[in-house]
Structure 1
Amino acid sequence: MIETLLRAYTNRPDNADPAQRVSFGTSGHRGSSLAGSFNDAHIAAIVQAVVDYRCEAGITGPLFLGRDTHALSRPAWDTAMEVLAGNGVEVVIAKEDEVLATPVISHAILRHNASLKAQSDAPLADGLIITPSHNPPEDGGIKYNPPHGGPAEANITASLEAQANRYLDDGGATIQRLPLEQARALVREQDLIGHYVDTLGDVIDMAAIQSQQQRSGLRLGVDPMGGTALPIWQTIAKRYGLALDIINPQVDANFAFMPPDHDGKIRMDCSSSAAMANLLAIKDRFDLAFGNDPDADRHGIVDAGGLMNPNHYLAVAIDYLLGHRPLWGQSLKLGKTLVSSSMIDRVVAAHGCELYEVPVGFKWFVEGLHQSWLAFGGEESAGASLLTFDAMPWSTDKDGIALCLLAAEIMAVTGQSPSQRYAELTARHGAPVYRRIDSPCDAQQKAAFKQLSADSVVASTLAGDPITQIMTKAPGNNESIGGLKVTTAHGWFAARPSGTEALYKLYAESFRGEAHLEAILDEARQLLAVALAVV
């Protein structure tokens, strides 16, 4: 398959086919050379559009360029270098052409720009990461991080998409580009992984992990899942003297070592118990073990209880951090997406802090993390980041490495596993049950979702409880959620259409058990059928 993918990378896309145009979702542009949606022409057009945006925005500093281990990432990385060099952009990569994770890029951008704060008209840095995240081996992806270090805002990605498609339409005739050999000679290398690892003590109590391992032999394991986390974990083990068992050091663009996901596809999803089967099979060898997706922006936490539900771990992480980061204070907010568990709401309220609830997408946390008024931002899909001990930005993109190490800190400091900590939370706040269901949704229904309002819900109760809130905008930032969320004192549901597939996603949670959850789901489907039909 790899040879076929690479040959197809140089094919010209069909500009008349909408599926072969540049399209930015919440995580950049993704596609496959086999489908004509991720080819040299796409990457050249996107990168030239990024160069144009940099000129318009006055961004004149270096651009940090990273890639993951997917087969299409290397040729796309080469294309990006050729275009960047052709436009005179200073490009910084990891030493020895090493693969580079999303959080390392974000951290490098923030570090560079923080050093220039006293300067006016400072040459700010930004970054590009060539990755389709946890997608199957045949996919490719590219995403842009502006000088704030996090995912680009919707207005930026919309501009990049439109400009890139204009370059596709003119056949790339105006794209500036150098031959690879010339471009490669102009690129500058830095030990970006080394600096990221050396400064981990700013955000995680690495000394506590070291000390606990020396005292009790804390057994730690990690599965990098063939991705960019591998060199990071290797460097962490060496730098901090940790006994860290890397159970799978293989890097194979076919990802042949991966167990199939729940649908039979190969997908490096560290939040999926099917994809994490290799690590789960040997979990008893460790007190705590971790997994990361190929660009290391997601975390999977495994202890004696198995693979933690991402919602559960987010609640545990927030509860622990609010008790062990005294310099944060109570004025900082804690962020969650509106489809994350309400256990987080209860934990934050118990600590007397303010919740910041936003639509789906990590981009909504970037401003708060960058400006240091948001202490933590997390998604139900196992992506999160946090401030340093002294409440400064660490990474404004998701950081799977830091969140894994935070689990080790929790165990080292408290003597309890994350699952044990979650059990204590349920004893105090109740035990929620949560589910997501995908259902068919045509184009007309997707359009109807955008027109929903609070008046679209005619019911006054949900599964026997009075409805307390109906939302089409997130309470944290008043941004549209692209759908609907209905809450009661004991449960909620939220629904929104998929941006890439002909379906809508229905999320629900109950603090009254499975039967109550089923009732919420049943009534949610009925309510949505009526609301979408009326709209």
Structure 2
Amino acid sequence: MAELKSISVPTTPFDDQKPGTSGLRKKVKVFQQNHYTENFVQSIFNALGCKVKNSVIVVGGDGRYYLKEAISHIIKIAAANQVSKLIIGQNGIISTPAVSSLIRSNKTTGGIVLTASHNPGGINNDFGIKYNCENGGPAPDNVTNEIFELSKKIKEFKYVPDLKTCGLIETIGVTTFKVDGRDFVVEVIDSVENYVNLMKDIFDFGKIKKLVNQPFNILIDSMHGVTGRYVERIFVEELGADVNKNVTHTETLEDFGGEHPDPNLTYAKSLVDKVKADTSYDLGAAFDGDGDRNMILGKNAFFVTPSDSLAVIANNLECIPYFKKNGVKGFARSMPTAGAVDRVAQKLGKEFFETPTGWKYFGNLMDAERLSLCGEESFGTGSDHIREKDGIWAVLAWLQIIEHKNMSVEEILNEHWCQYGRNFFTRYDYEECEGKGANDMMATLESMLTSSGFVGREFSSLGKTYKVKVGDNFSYVDPIDKSVAKNQGLRVLFEDGSRLVFRLSGTGSSGATVRLYVDSYEQSNFKNDAQDILKPLVNIALEMSQLQKFTGRDAPTVIT
């Protein structure tokens, strides 16, 4: 075995490598700049400090354009930084939930996840890199802040230029290199097996298989993202679904087939249209590029909001074997998410948490055994089986509940609303706005919300009047480590329980995405049309924020 030598490569810092809500996301061509990817990866290893020596790191991503090139850089940098072993998915592909599972089951130092999640892929679109810690979850703020600070003053990165990576990750197996007198191991694994075994431990596959093979018809859409191979292994091979009728878009493509891999009513329109047109389908589901988000549809494309999905699962955990065995601790949701799960927690006597947006805020609560189930309105649902949201897990949870209750998706929701009332919820996304206008809007709005006369003001539209109870910029004190997250979104809480939330998203790769969240609770009028119920509040939000004036936008890019 020939011995390889590492070198130090001089470099200069970039000033734009601050991770967002979940990692660093930029256009592919930004990552392709000379030393851009290498600088950020080296900054991750520098942030690990002494933990990097002899560490074991999981590496994988969602199959988007630039994945293999990035992995090649990671391998050569890891070898030079005295990493002991990399565990890499075959062809570099692992879903984000599966990365979390691998980190936890192998007790590794952490993982590097190569994804821009639900953002478009391809040479002219997005790529992303994020670091997950040893608990399997996204790095907390103190770690990502340290990575950013180090990236601003980096002077060199370590590299093994003669380590040949061509073809290395295409075949399952173990390859050992001798680097600077040390063994460096690259283990290429079946990216699906570990995750499938975890799902089989959580759910009763026998019962779900009987459901799927009865006259209960499903359509699962991978949107040409990473979940294709997971869907084929779980739903087709394990549960007996028809590969031609029950699953679609399962081939993972570098550009996601030219589509936007975001499972919502706008970007998963082909699924919505098919389930609506073919009344034989009882359940439709879609996943995003890296497999952590999900959308649930019932017959005739009956849409289940993520907030309702979380609440329904919370109210029916007793039928899932994992929770029968481990018990149910607390529930949590991100601040912008509608408050449907709050009432479930109250009725069941479970601890409840409201956190900032970002899955990393749930991790401490799970590690402290105070949280079992959590979710975000951005189509993310998950439990403490891993430390990421998990799209396939959510669909399996719904199938387990449907089998147990012997009810349709719509019947389950109607039963839930009769018991708890309904949170009508919508989100307006204004994507790629000009940054200055968006920031000016938020600053002006915050000044109004926090002024002395704002609480008690009344706002009216379409015959409805709402009185302000609270106006603030949401902050969060972590109950476990007492860390503080500030400036997490502007909130207007009205006396009737309705809410408006305004945020600038941290998941985009360019420009600014303004998000408006509208939440209205109705105890008895739960069968009314959501847009009719929410229209007065939407009008008030647009007037209050002067959104069109500041952004020039007269309509959102996406309405959820």
Q: Same fold judged by TM-score > 0.5?
A: yes
Shift of 1:232: 1.3
Give the Cα–Cα distance (whole angstroms) in 1 for the partners of residues 405 and 299 of structure 2. 16
State how 1:405-424 maps to structure 2 within 5 Å. 405-424=396-415
> Which sits farther off after the overlay, 144-153 or 469-478?
469-478
Q: 1:476 to 1:286 in 2, by over 3 A?
A: farther
What are the Cα deviations for residues 429-477 of structure 1, in whole angstroms up to 9, with x where unaligned? 3333322235664444445667787555624145534444444335774
Contact 2:449 2:492 in 1 (8 A): no
- The amino acid of 2:127's aligned partner reads G
**Correspondence for 2:112:** 128
Give the Cα–Cα distance (whole angstroms) in 2 for the partners of residues 220 and 13 of structure 1. 52
Shift of 1:81: 1.5
What are the Cα deviations for residues 13-71 of structure 1, in whole angstroms up to 9, with x where unaligned? 9967x5xx32311121111233x355462221121112122224567431000021211
Match for residue 508 of structure 1 among 518, 530, 535? 518
Give the Cα–Cα distance (whole angstroms) in 2 for the partners of residues 29 and 457 of structure 1. 40
- The amino acid of 1:143's aligned partner reads K
**Correspondence for 1:255:** 256
Q: Given the alignment of the two structures, is residue 358 of structure 1 paired with residue 355 of structure 2, yes or no?
A: yes
SS in 2 for 1:135: coil
> Which sits farther off after the overlay, 450-459 or 429-438?
450-459
SS in 1 for 2:86: strand
SS in 2 for 1:511: strand
State how 1:86-97 maps to structure 2 within 5 Å. 86-94=80-88, 96-97=90-91
Q: 1:249 to 1:514 in 2, by over 3 A?
A: closer
**Correspondence for 1:175:** 158
State how 1:239-388 maps to structure 2 within 5 Å. 240-244=238-242, 245-256=246-257, 266-278=259-271, 280-282=273-275, 284-306=279-301, 307-321=303-317, 325-326=323-324, 332-387=329-384
SS in 2 for 1:397: coil
Shift of 1:480: 2.7
- The amino acid of 1:517's aligned partner reads L
**Correspondence for 1:391:** none
Q: 1:14 to 1:32 in 2, by over 3 A?
A: farther
State how 1:135-214 maps to structure 2 within 5 Å. 135-137=119-121, 138-167=125-154, 170=155, 173-181=156-164, 184=168, 185=175, 186-214=185-213
Answer 1 or 2: which has greater helix percent.
Answer: 1
Shift of 1:267: 0.9
Contact 2:283 2:299 in 1 (8 A): yes
Give the Cα–Cα distance (whole angstroms) in 1 for the partners of residues 103 and 379 of structure 2. 23
State how 1:39-78 maps to structure 2 within 5 Å. 39=33, 41-57=35-51, 60-78=54-72
Contact 2:31 2:37 in 1 (8 A): no
Give the Cα–Cα distance (whole angstroms) in 2 for the partners of residues 343 and 277 of structure 1. 28
SS in 1 for 2:503: strand
Match for residue 387 of structure 2 among 360, 385, 396? 396
Q: TM-score, normalised by structure 2?
A: 0.78
Give the Cα–Cα distance (whole angstroms) in 1 for the partners of residues 78 and 34 of structure 2. 14
**Correspondence for 2:503:** 496
Gaps of 5+ in 2: 1-9, 169-174, 176-184, 479-483, 523-529, 551-560
**Correspondence for 2:106:** 112
> Which sits farther off after the overlay, 362-371 or 301-310?
301-310
Match for residue 222 of structure 1 among 212, 220, 223? 220
Shift of 1:295: 0.9
- The amino acid of 2:136's aligned partner reads G
Q: 1:524 to 1:251 in 2, by over 3 A?
A: closer
> Which sits farther off after the overlay, 478-487 or 520-529?
520-529
Q: 1:328 to 1:437 in 2, by over 3 A?
A: same
Give the Cα–Cα distance (whole angstroms) in 2 for the partners of residues 503 and 211 of structure 1. 44
Give the Cα–Cα distance (whole angstroms) in 2 for the partners of residues 189 and 96 of structure 1. 6
**Correspondence for 1:5:** none
Contact 2:474 2:486 in 1 (8 A): yes
- The amino acid of 2:293's aligned partner reads R
Give the Cα–Cα distance (whole angstroms) in 1 for the partners of residues 445 and 140 of structure 2. 22
Q: 1:369 to 1:437 in 2, by over 3 A?
A: same
Q: Given the alignment of the two structures, is residue 519 of structure 1 paired with residue 536 of structure 2, yes or no?
A: yes
Match for residue 419 of structure 2 among 403, 428, 433? 428
Shift of 1:303: 2.2
Give the Cα–Cα distance (whole angstroms) in 2 for the partners of residues 203 and 40 of structure 1. 45
Total equivalences in the alignment: 486
SS in 1 for 2:65: coil
- The amino acid of 1:419's aligned partner reads E
Shift of 1:287: 2.4
What are the Cα deviations for residues 357-407 of structure 1, in whole angstroms up to 9, with x where unaligned? 1111111111112332101110001112113xxxxxx11011111111111
SS in 1 for 2:73: helix
**Correspondence for 1:485:** 491
Give the Cα–Cα distance (whole angstroms) in 2 for the partners of residues 494 and 272 of structure 1. 21
RMSD: 3.2
Answer 1 or 2: which has greater strand percent.
Answer: 2
> Which sits farther off after the overlay, 403-412 or 426-435?
426-435
SS in 1 for 2:160: coil
Q: TM-score, normalised by structure 1?
A: 0.81
What are the Cα deviations for residues 491-520 of structure 1, in whole angstroms up to 9, with x where unaligned? 111122344534642211223575663333
Q: 1:270 to 1:442 in 2, by over 3 A?
A: closer
Give the Cα–Cα distance (whole angstroms) in 2 for the partners of residues 345 and 462 of structure 1. 26
> Which sits farther off after the overlay, 100-109 or 157-166?
157-166
- The amino acid of 2:519's aligned partner reads E
Give the Cα–Cα distance (whole angstroms) in 2 for the partners of residues 471 and 205 of structure 1. 45
Q: 1:232 to 1:94 in 2, by over 3 A?
A: farther
SS in 2 for 1:97: strand
Shift of 1:337: 0.9
Match for residue 101 of structure 1 among 71, 91, 95? 95
Give the Cα–Cα distance (whole angstroms) in 1 for the partners of residues 110 and 345 of structure 2. 33
Contact 2:63 2:252 in 1 (8 A): yes
Q: 1:473 to 1:91 in 2, by over 3 A?
A: same
Contact 1:209 1:408 in 2 (8 A): yes
Contact 2:374 2:382 in 1 (8 A): yes
Shift of 1:162: 2.5
Give the Cα–Cα distance (whole angstroms) in 2 for the partners of residues 383 and 154 of structure 1. 20
Contact 2:53 2:84 in 1 (8 A): no
Contact 2:299 2:409 in 1 (8 A): no
Shift of 1:333: 1.5
Give the Cα–Cα distance (whole angstroms) in 1 for the partners of residues 512 and 191 of structure 2. 40
Give the Cα–Cα distance (whole angstroms) in 1 for the partners of residues 543 and 221 of structure 2. 42
Give the Cα–Cα distance (whole angstroms) in 2 for the partners of residues 13 and 515 of structure 1. 56
Give the Cα–Cα distance (whole angstroms) in 1 for the partners of residues 34 and 229 of structure 2. 27
- The amino acid of 1:288's aligned partner reads L
- The amino acid of 1:286's aligned partner reads Y
**Correspondence for 1:236:** 234
Shift of 1:420: 2.3
Q: 1:355 to 1:489 in 2, by over 3 A?
A: farther
- The amino acid of 2:256's aligned partner reads F
Shift of 1:241: 4.2
Q: 1:312 to 1:28 in 2, by over 3 A?
A: same
